[in-house]
Amino acid sequence: MRVEMLTVPDCPNGPVLKERLALALAGRADVELTGHVVDGQAEAERRGMHGSPTLLVDGRDPFAAPGTAAGLSCRLYRGADGRVDGAPSVEALRQVLGTTATTGADQAVGRAGRGRLAPVERGLRAVQQAVLRSFATTGAPPAAAELESAAEPFGVRAAQVLAQLAAEDFLTLDGTGRIQAAYPFSATPTEHAVQIAGGATVWSMCAIDALGIPAMLGTDAIITSNDPVTGDPVRVEFTGGRATWQPATSVVYCGTRPGDGPAATVCCGYLRFFTARGTAEQWTGQHAGMSGAVLDQAEAERLGADIFGPLLAAPAP
């Protein structure tokens, strides 16, 4: 299968589509994925581009209605829930690519198939990235003045942007509007500590979030957690992009409970490190109604990187 992304230069939704494609493809080795930057109408017509971004699967645009004219304008996609977005949802991409979700939990972690990279509009991405950079460097949310500085170019107040980010489950707020979590980071201690090389020690919301932090920051890190059944430690050390797990039998359970709500309540408590598959299966047997799967180390690392890797790499004009 050949999958092509067509974008105009500096398309703000190009990184969004790339993030969602990574989740939809789930590491499939039989897919040839390429990207092309198109900067003229003639090339758009030649390549079959129907606005930016466009996805081609084996040379065909599965989201374009018959007779749609080629062009370079900003493209919008309407989801199954009627909402308009700058890229197809992960679920829509899976449908046209013939792929399936690894677990129900990766839908929750990935914000119901819409990914964790906030839109550029209304200052959402600029404020999201300011929050993430503050956590990465200090282990805590940014000061109010820093948030206002990020929101000011968009003509909005930081509190308004934070409320919108919370409503879309990019972060969570307490009753006073203070940031409690900004996936993958937690403002309060959790079971999952991540020591960033040469920097702060931070807390992650869950095991998948912890594994996504080194990919998001492009840095070495040491993750420490524990098996909830035995209490024994689990350690994952990232060095030069490679991870070493101790013990070597460690796995991650990726689960979710029934019902709706933010990832913090639906799945974060059910994405855990275990020293072995056996203790993961023992633990899941004690939680009625939970669904999910045991992921091996490579699967867990890939899921963390696919979800969180793009969050700081994408520009926020």
Whether residue 171 is predicted with pLDDT greater than 90 in this model: the reply is: yes
pTM for the structure as a whole: 0.74
CB 25 within 8 A of CB 57: no
Q: Among 149, 167, 186, which residue terminates a domain?
A: 186
Residue 76 neighbours by CB under 8 Å, 6+ apart: 51, 84, 85, 86
Query: Are 63 and 159 contained in the same domain?
Result: no
Query: Are 165 and 135 contained in the same domain?
Result: yes
CB 85 within 8 A of CB 114: yes
Mean pLDDT of 30-48: 90
Annotate 4-29 with b (16+ C-beta within 10 A) or e (fewer).
bbbbbeebbbbbbbbbbbbbbbbeee
- Per the structure, the complete domain to which residue 90 belongs is given by 2-100
- 211: confidence class by pLDDT, cuts 50, 70, 90: very high
Q: What is the pLDDT of residue 30?
A: 73
Q: What is the pLDDT of residue 62?
A: 92
Query: Are 160 and 208 contained in the same domain?
Result: no
316 found inside a domain: no
Query: Are 16 and 65 contained in the same domain?
Result: yes
Whether residue 143 is predicted with pLDDT greater than 80 in this model: the reply is: yes
225 found inside a domain: yes
Mean pLDDT of 221-238: 97
Q: Is 172 helix (H, G, I), strand (E, B) or coil?
A: strand
218 found inside a domain: yes
Question: What letter represents residue 59's amino acid?
Answer: G
When divided into structural domains, the chain yields a total of: 3
Report how far apart the first and last C-alpha atoms of the chain are (Å, whole number): 34
Q: Among 186, 215, 235, which residue terminates a domain?
A: 186
Query: Are 234 and 293 contained in the same domain?
Result: yes
Q: Among 158, 186, 214, which residue terminates a domain?
A: 186
Considering only CA atoms, give the Rg of the chain.
20
